[in-house]
Amino acid sequence: MSLLSLRNVSLRYGDFVVLERVNLEVKAQEFCAIVGASGCGKSTFLRLLLSEERPSGGEIRLDGAPLAAEPQADRGVVFQRYSVFPHLTVMENVILPMELAGSCLSGRACGRFFGARRRAAMAEAEHLLERVGLTHVRNAYPKTLSGGMQQRLAIAQALIPKPKVLLLDEPFGALDPGTRQRMHEIILTLWEEEKMTIFMVTHDLQEGFKLGTRLLVFDKLRWDPQAPEAYGATITYDLPTDRRGQLPNELARKAELSKKEPTQTPYRNEGPFNVVQ
């Protein structure tokens, strides 16, 4: 049985169709990389999975039940920016989810641990910080950390509630290439160890191939030059990435291009991604 299933999901704002006829079945422990030209609705798709947006049509089911109407602890998220709380230290950021879930009366009211519970939470957090390599900055504020460290902290924080699905919205987009390589290793390790299901939006095709077990390409199947907003994007390719050799020709070409010029964005927002240049 699939963990997450989307049936004929669409999203439109008035006449502006963002997504249409999105169908998807995702099993537990899959790593779905989502790529597509900018503005093609891949971040919107993630917002749907997060319940930040409600679909205009169709149905999303998580674990067989309809998706909750608001963001909840069953779906974790890491954004490109602003994912950690600037007023809390690294350690406080990691124990915050435990404090929020704390079920004692005082814990729920003020969302804070004291005494023995706090020490227990800190021990657990310490272990997690070790895995993402942040123990040496446990008392620093996020502002003083590098971009990569902040994202590692955000990931660690998102893992605490043990979400069924982890949603990553271009998490490494603002990082330099070296840092990005390290982040890839960390996220792959965590993914294997935690047996998570991950959705990751990226604009880097290579990154998608490297990390994902499955590559979802978002694009518009129909394109009306006179009314670009008339048709929405959908999943145009759904590829298991272990069969990379059998890529559709045009995608293979793009992948080749992006390998040759790793610094250059593989494609620009010049129209539908499917159009062969």
Partner 1 sequence: MGRLINRRSGRSGQLLLGALPFILLAAAYLMASDARLAVNPNDKLLPSLESFADAINRLAFEPDPRKGTYILWDDTLASLLRLGLGLSVATGIGLVAGVAIGLLPLARSAFAPVVAVLSVVPPLAVLPILFIVFGLGELAKVTLIVIGVTPFMVRDLSMSVAGLPREQLVKAQTLGASTWQIVTRVVLPQTLPRLVSALRLSLGPAWLFLISSEAIAATEGLGYRIFLVRRYLAMDVILPYVAWITLLAFVLDWLLRRLSRKAFAWQAGEVSL
The DSSP letter of residue 68 is P
Q: Which amino acid is at 128?
A: L
Per-residue interface string for the shown chain with partner 1, residues 122-151, x marking contact by CB under 8 A: -------------------x-x--------
| Bridge partners for 10 per DSSP | 57
Which of these, 30, 5, 6, lies nearest to 196 by C-alpha position?
30
- Which 178-197 residues touch partner 1, going by CB under 8 A? none
State the Cα–Cα distance between residues 44 and 32, nearest whole angstrom: 15
- In the complex, the smallest distance separating the C-beta of residue 80 from partner 1, rounded to whole angstroms, is 9
For residue 89 the two structure tokens come to: 């230290």
* Cβ-contact 79, 153 below 8 angstroms: no
For partner 1, the closer CB: 194 or 250: 194
Selected from 7, 12, 53, 100, the binder of partner 1 by CB under 8 A is 100
State the Cα–Cα distance between residues 60 and 258, nearest whole angstrom: 33
For partner 1, the closer CB: 68 or 275: 68
For partner 1, the closer CB: 5 or 157: 157
Selected from 12, 21, 61, 112, the binder of partner 1 by CB under 8 A is 112
- In the complex, the smallest distance separating the C-beta of residue 75 from partner 1, rounded to whole angstroms, is 6
Residue corresponding to tokens 């079920």: 103
Residue corresponding to tokens 């409600």: 54
* Cβ-contact 78, 151 below 8 angstroms: yes
| Bridge partners for 75 per DSSP | 165
State the Cα–Cα distance between residues 83 and 150, nearest whole angstrom: 8
- Which 62-81 residues touch partner 1, going by CB under 8 A? 70-73, 75-77, 79, 81
Selected from 20, 99, 207, 219, the binder of partner 1 by CB under 8 A is 99
* 114 lies in the site for partner 1, by CB under 8 A: no
For partner 1, the closer CB: 87 or 136: 87
Q: How many residues does this entry show for the chain?
A: 277
Beta strands in the chain (DSSP E): 4-13, 16-26, 31-36, 57-62, 65-66, 75-78, 165-169, 197-201, 214-220, 233-240
* 101 lies in the site for partner 1, by CB under 8 A: yes
* 91 lies in the site for partner 1, by CB under 8 A: no
- In the complex, the smallest distance separating the C-beta of residue 94 from partner 1, rounded to whole angstroms, is 10
Which of these, 78, 66, 62, lies nearest to 28 by C-alpha position?
62
From first CA to last CA, the distance across the chain in angstroms is: 39
For partner 1, the closer CB: 121 or 255: 121
Selected from 96, 132, 149, 255, the binder of partner 1 by CB under 8 A is 96
Task: Point out which span in 12-20, 94-102, 201-209, 266-274 binds partner 1 (CB under 8 A).
Answer: 94-102
- Which 152-181 residues touch partner 1, going by CB under 8 A? 154, 157-158, 160-161, 163
* 260 lies in the site for partner 1, by CB under 8 A: no
Using CB under 8 A, list all residues that contact partner 1.
Answer: 50, 52, 70-73, 75-77, 79, 81-83, 85-89, 96-97, 99-101, 108-112, 141, 143, 154, 157-158, 160-161, 163
